[in-house]
Amino acid sequence: MRVFNLMTAVLIMLFSTAINADEANKDASGLRKMAQSYEHGHGVKKSYDQALELYCKAALMGDALSAYNRGFMYFIGRGVARDLPLAIYWFKKSAGSGDIYAKRMLLKFRSVAPKKDESCQPDPLVEAAADPVIKVKLVDNPKRDKVIAWVNQIAPHYGIDPQLVMAVIQAESAFNTQALSNKNAQGLMQLIPATAERFGVKDSWNPVQNIKGGTAYLHWLMRHFAGNVEHVLAAYNAGEGAVERYQGIPPYQETQNYVKRILSNYPKKSHPIPPEHPEKFDLAKLNTLQVSNL
């Protein structure tokens, strides 16, 4: 009987660990839960290093509680040397996302200057020496050069590879600024009205606004799916809910073909997680005067 109970306990622990690991692959919340398991030894062997790493990944995806928890580990010296300036750095990030406890810590230690955590930063977008330059195969379109120029100006502000944006535009509209689907998806990046509204696009037929809205959506998806390009593309086509529900590319023929088609032009399956907040830029500096000519 004791042997049976012991085996049952082991199986439950293994099953719990597998569930936690699966959760961690989904989103920032899952990463945080797994980090908490490692920090406190719930269902897994306690590991502060693993906890710090997972809190880092989730915090870089914008999770306020993960930023606070990583900061608190530095604050009390859990698994690391106590470092108040590093703790303040993470409390500041957490407070910026609305965490009230982080705000209280900042108020209490307002005289302490934050110190940047160099061990937890987004990967650089461009690694020219390590990565070959990818050229998207583009169909002939006389208006394409203007669109490419806009993409090259807009995409870097969102931390998104311009070549990926162009691959999406190629698949969505073949660089046709007037493309309209039977689902009312509009313009270069085929924004449906709900997505356009979600990302502040007032006129989907304006190609600059359309690129900005589509790239903003890619930025959000890239953070949500931790740089997994296949999941990002599937979500762009079928919605993030479908990808979360199937824990990967949904079994829709259209979506599967869509992902394959883009990856044939952009064969990178991982992408650096972009910073939480895109760089500010002035759309007026783009050559919008010639939009009406497209």
Active site residues: 172
CB atoms within 10 A of CB 222: 25
Residue 181: strand, helix, or coil: coil
Helix crossing, 28-40 with 64-76: angle to 10°? 20
* Percentage helix, strand, coil for the chain under 3-state DSSP, each rounded to 5: 60, 0, 40
* Distance, CA of 48 to CA of 73 (rounded, Å): 9
Q: Tokens representing 238?
A: 């079928």
> In angstroms, rounded to a whole number, what is the distance separating the alpha carbons of residues 221 and 215?
10
The secondary structure element, H or E, covering residue 236 is: helix 229-238
Contact criterion met (CB below 8 Å) for 238 and 221: no
The residues pairing with 191 across neighbouring beta strands, listed in sequence order, are: 186
E strand or H helix at 39: helix 28-40
Q: For residue 221, what are its two tokens?
A: 């998806």
Backbone angles phi, psi at 146, to 5 degrees: -65, -45
176 phi/psi in degrees, rounded to 5: -95, 110
Q: Are 75 and 41 in contact (CB under 8 A)?
A: no
SS3 132: coil
